[in-house]
């Protein structure tokens, strides 16, 4: 898979976005705002990328930051698109999430800080990771053929 056209636009030293909640509310759809900025979640099996097998790069729907490559996506059976590793260790950030009476690892976009989903240590590949993400927080940039 040739993805250099997209990876070359990824800046390891990217600037963090500096926007207010009011800015995001004006710019984002109500659904994207609720999930990405208020840490909501999609109903399982309803997201546009849950069953997608298209090749390309998944980018942050809020700031266009490249996050995951399609060749790291797998069917976890959970109802959300799942990946075994980010495109780069600098693409995402992690935070402990103790909401809902459990402890999980929240995954956030490193550029804009938007909530993407959660990472679990039960993945089926050699990484042992399962990044379970909300489709609405992602935009797929298809591979150029």
What amino acid positions are annotated as catalytic residues? 132
Task: Check if the beta carbon of residue 24 is closer than 8 Å to that of residue 33.
Answer: yes
Task: Check if the beta carbon of residue 67 is closer than 8 Å to that of residue 91.
Answer: yes
Tokens representing residue 11 in the block: 């800046």
Parallel, antiparallel, or unpaired: how do β-strands 73-74 and 66-69 relate? unpaired
User: How far apart are alpha carbons 63 and 116 in whole angstroms?
Assistant: 12
Burial class (CB in 10 A: 0-12, 13-18, 19+), 136: buried
């Amino acid at each position: 898979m040739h993805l250099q056209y997209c990876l070359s636009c990824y800046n390891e030293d990217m600037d963090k976005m500096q926007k207010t909640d009011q800015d995001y509310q004006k710019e984002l759809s109500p659904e994207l705002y609720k999930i990405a900025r208020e840490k909501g979640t999609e109903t399982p099996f309803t997201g546009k990328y849950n069953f997608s097998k298209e090749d390309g790069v998944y980018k942050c729907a809020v700031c266009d930051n490249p996050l995951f490559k399609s060749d790291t996506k797998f069917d976890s059976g959970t109802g959300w698109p799942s990946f075994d590793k980010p495109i780069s260790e600098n693409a995402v950030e992690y935070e402990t999430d103790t909401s809902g009476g459990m402890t999980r690892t929240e995954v956030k976009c490193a550029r804009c800080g938007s909530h993407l989903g959660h990472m679990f240590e039960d993945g089926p590949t050699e990484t042992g990771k399962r990044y379970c993400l909300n489709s609405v927080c992602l935009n797929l940039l298809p591979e150029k053929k």
